[in-house]
Structure formats: C-alpha cells, structure tokens
C-alpha cells in the first residue's frame, strides 16, 4: 500500500501527540514493506527526505510568521493538494480537522474515489476553554463540516466514537494512540528536582483550563498532604493559563512548577517513582500522556469523564471536584496500600494487550486493507 499522513507537523516528533502517533505508525508500516510518506512543514528541523524508511515530503508553511492558528490552514491545504494532485496514494490519513475543512470542501473530498481519505477526529476541540466563544463556535461548525465532508472517520477513544454516533448518526473506526511499557527507570533523575521515591505527587499536562489543573492544586492545598509530599506540575508555563497558575500558586510551598520535561527517559522515571499521578484531561480522546503514565507504572487518579473511564475502566480512582481530590489525598496511604499494586499492574497489561505500538500498527494496516478491498468491490 502507498500511504500518506497529512496535517501533522513532521517526524521525528518534536511537537505533540499526532506527530508521535505518525512517527510510530508510519515507521511500523514502512518496516512491513509499505510505501509511506509523512508530510512535514518547512520549518521542521529535520531536513532529510527519509526517516527510518519513511519518505518525508517538505511543504512550505507560513506558520512561523503568520502564526499557527492561521498558517496551519495554508500548510494543510498545500499538503492535501500535493497528496491528491501530485502523488498516487492508496490511503491518505488526515490528522485532525480544525485546519483542513477549507481544503476538504475545495477538493470535494467526499466524492473522491481514489485515493481513500480517512479523518482522525481527535478530541472535542470546540470545548477547549483556551478558545473564546466565537472560536469555539467556528470549531464546532468545522466539526460538523468534517463529518459531512469526510469519507471515513477515525475515533481514538470509544467516548469519541459514541459521541459521533449519538450526535451525528455516523460510524467511526476506533483506533487508539499507543505506548510501550517502560522498564528502564533511573532514580537518579529525581535528584534534579529534589525528590525521593513515593514522596511526591505528579501532574503532567499542557497547562490549559480543560486539563483541570486548578482542581488538583486546590484539592492538594486543602489536604493533609500540603507541605508534606509536594505536587510536581510538569508542563510549559508560558501559556496564558500557565502564567496565571504560576502567579497564583508559584509561591505555595507544596507546589513545584518544573516546566516541560522533554527527555522521555527522565520523564518516565519521574512519573514512575511518584506516589500518585493526576490526570485531569477532560475534552480529548485517548490522551497520549495518560497511556505513557500507565506504561510507566503510575498509580493514576483521573478526572471523572467518559474518555478517561474508556481507557482506565476500573483501574483508577476518579475525582470531579477539588473536594474529592482532598478526600483522596487525606487517605492516600490507605488507598495506595489497598489499590496501587493491583491497578498499576492491570494498567500495564492493558498497555501490552490493547495499546502497544506494534498492536496499533497491526490494526491500522488491517483497517487500510479492508478499506481498499471495499473500494475494489464497489468499482
């Protein structure tokens, strides 16, 4: 098969979840003999035309000077145009919908018979509170248009799958993100942050309102753990919400903002040795950081929503308020003694059986083959 991944910010990954996904899946498919191309913006630091057997197609992007929100529309349009008009792909995988809708409408993607275009719908983007109400309304319109103009939809979480079924009456294919179980943890990484194993809590997230960081912090500050075991907040603090959090909580003795950690071995180790891991994401699908926490053997305390429950099921304790966070932390030693070993071991098995990258390469390969067989029968 000849496969393209568009609307990603290039590989090797130096951006985010879609790019990590594109790297693992594209390399995995290339190893199996498929002809795979990943589209990459001109500003990406990797300038070669091949990466681990995957073709890299560099497309000019005005994002550095125009801004990501606007510039991404031009980059995505140019990428899809190239994929449709200059290449002869069997499958085009569209990563997200928020900046591709004009191109979908312009090229009338819904009516195209060859190639097959599949759209990963990501999370409920219009609910992200970093956007003002007008942007949220525009993105909600884009979501409707994506459903209308896409050939096939992919949902990375059963909660997302059910959302599109219930709200639009359309089917989507459930194909998740992935992670691999980690074992090479190094306790020495803790020294950089003045930490000791089992003597801190951790939260890893983009510092945005919908990730419920305030809920975790307020719950911690009102608990018996405040000032005893610190809460480590990992994530860039240069976002508007990040700056607000640092201004409000940066001087609290028990709260440590450490910025982003981009050395994955270090991050996995810091996750692994924590007493408990807070996962507050509430509008995405299957969040990569949650899978990585599970793969690192973290004891996960998760925000109570359909997306997190779809992944963690009964192998987590859930919270929906700061008061519930306080309650959990006030009893954390008893809770850990009762649940931690069983829950972490169960989540590691889930990663091995349902979310390993090799398993996901299998699933994507099989799905693409099924779509091609279906297309042949309909000719």
Round to whole Å and give the CA distance between 175 and 366. Answer: 11
CA 318 to chain centre: 20
What are the domain boundaries of the chain?
Answer: 2-178+357-378, 187-354
Give 38 or 287, the one with higher predicted confidence.
Answer: 38
Per the CB < 8 A criterion, the answer to whether 143 and 167 are in contact is no
Mean pLDDT across the stretch 31-41?
A: 96
Mean pLDDT across the stretch 305-328?
A: 96
Single out the residue of 292, 18, 341, 311 nearest to residue 180, CA to CA: 292
Percentages helix, strand, coil for the chain, rounded to the nearest 5? 50, 15, 35
According to the model, what pLDDT value does residue 132 have? 77
Single out the residue of 57, 213, 202, 222 nearest to residue 129, CA to CA: 213
Give 264 or 371, the one with higher predicted confidence.
Answer: 371
The edge-to-edge listing of strands for the beta sheet with 54-59 is 50-51, 54-59, 35-41, 2-6, 91-95, 116-120, 152-155, 173-174
- Mean pLDDT score across all residues of the chain: 92
Q: Which CATH topology does 187-354 take?
A: Rossmann fold (3.40.50)
Q: At a CB cut-off of 8 Å and minimum separation 6, what does 362 contact? A: none
Q: At what angle do helices 213-221 and 322-330 cross, to 10 degrees?
A: 50
Say yes or no: do domains 2-178+357-378 and 187-354 share a fold: yes
Q: Is the pLDDT of residue 377 over 90?
A: no
CATH number of the domain at 2-178+357-378, out of 3.30.420.40, 3.40.50.2000, 3.40.190.10, 3.40.640.10?
3.40.50.2000
Mean pLDDT across the stretch 341-350?
A: 97
According to the model, what pLDDT value does residue 128 have? 74
Report for 64-68, 71-75, 86-90, 129-133: range of highest mean pLDDT: 86-90
Round to whole Å and give the CA distance between 270 and 225. Answer: 19
Mean pLDDT across the stretch 266-274?
A: 96
What residues form DSSP beta bridges with 91?
A: 3, 116
Q: Model confidence over 74-130: pLDDT tens digits?
A: 999 999 999 999 999 999 999 887 788 888 989 999 989 899 999 988 766 766 777
Round to whole Å and give the CA distance between 310 and 336. Answer: 22
Single out the residue of 28, 32, 66, 27 nearest to residue 41, CA to CA: 66
CA distances from 262 to 190, 221, 234, 268 (A): 15, 27, 10, 10
Q: What angle do CA 327, 330, 332 make, to 5 degrees?
A: 100
Q: Is the pLDDT of residue 356 over 70?
A: yes
CA 86 to chain centre: 30
Mean pLDDT across the stretch 59-83?
A: 89
Single out the residue of 43, 101, 53, 95 nearest to residue 77, CA to CA: 101
Q: Is the pLDDT of residue 15 over 70?
A: no
Q: Is the pLDDT of residue 17 over 80?
A: no
Q: What angle do CA 191, 194, 200 make, to 5 degrees?
A: 110
| pLDDT-based confidence at residue 312 (cuts at 50, 70, 90) | very high
Mean pLDDT across the stretch 358-369?
A: 96
Classify burial at 83, counting beta carbons within 10 Å of its beta carbon; exposed 0-12, middle 13-18, buried 19 or more. Answer: buried
Mean pLDDT across the stretch 301-310?
A: 93
Q: Model confidence over 173-198: pLDDT tens digits?
A: 999 888 889 899 999 999 999 999 99
Q: Are strands 91-95 and 50-51 parallel, antiparallel or unpaired?
A: unpaired
According to the model, what pLDDT value does residue 16 have? 67
Q: Model confidence over 137-165: pLDDT tens digits?
A: 988 888 888 899 999 999 988 888 888 99
């Amino acid at each position: 098969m000849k496969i393209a991944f568009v609307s990603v910010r290039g590989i090797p990954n130096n951006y985010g979840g879609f790019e990590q996904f594109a790297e693992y899946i594209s390399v995995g498919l290339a190893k199996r003999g498929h002809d795979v191309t990943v589209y990459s913006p001109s500003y990406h630091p990797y300038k070669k035309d091949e990466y681990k057997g995957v073709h890299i197609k560099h497309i000019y992007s005005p994002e550095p000077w125009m801004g990501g929100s606007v510039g991404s529309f031009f980059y995505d349009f140019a990428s899809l145009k190239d994929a449709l008009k200059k290449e002869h792909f069997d499958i085009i995988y569209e990563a997200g919908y928020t900046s591709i809708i004009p191109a979908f409408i312009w090229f009338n993607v819904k009516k195209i018979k060859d190639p097959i275009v599949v759209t990963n719908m990501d999370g409920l983007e219009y609910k992200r509170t970093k956007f003002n109400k007008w942007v949220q309304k525009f993105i909600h319109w884009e979501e409707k248009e994506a459903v209308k103009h896409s050939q096939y939809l992919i949902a990375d979480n059963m909660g997302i799958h059910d959302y599109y079924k219930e709200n639009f009456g359309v089917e989507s294919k459930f194909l998740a993100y992935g992670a691999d179980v980690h074992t090479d943890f190094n306790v020495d990484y803790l020294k950089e942050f003045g930490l000791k194993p089992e003597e801190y809590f951790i939260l890893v997230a983009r510092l945005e309102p919908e990730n419920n960081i305030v809920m975790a912090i307020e719950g911690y500050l009102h608990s018996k753990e405040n000032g005893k075991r610190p809460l480590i907040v990992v994530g860039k603090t240069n976002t508007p919400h990040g700056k607000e959090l640092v201004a409000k909580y940066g001087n609290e003795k028990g709260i440590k903002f450490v910025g982003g950690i981009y050395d994955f071995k270090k991050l996995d180790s810091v996750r692994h040795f924590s007493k408990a891991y807070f996962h507050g994401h509430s509008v995405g699908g299957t969040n990569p950081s949650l899978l990585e926490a599970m793969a690192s053997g973290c004891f996960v305390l998760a925000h109570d929503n359909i997306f997190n429950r779809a992944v963690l099921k009964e192998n987590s304790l859930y919270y929906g308020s700061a008061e519930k966070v306080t309650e959990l932390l006030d009893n954390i030693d008893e809770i850990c003694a009762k649940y931690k070993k069983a829950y972490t071991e169960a989540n590691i098995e889930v990663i091995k059986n349902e979310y390993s990258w090799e398993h996901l390469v299998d699933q994507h390969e099989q799905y693409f083959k099924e779509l091609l067989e279906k297309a042949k029968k309909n000719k």
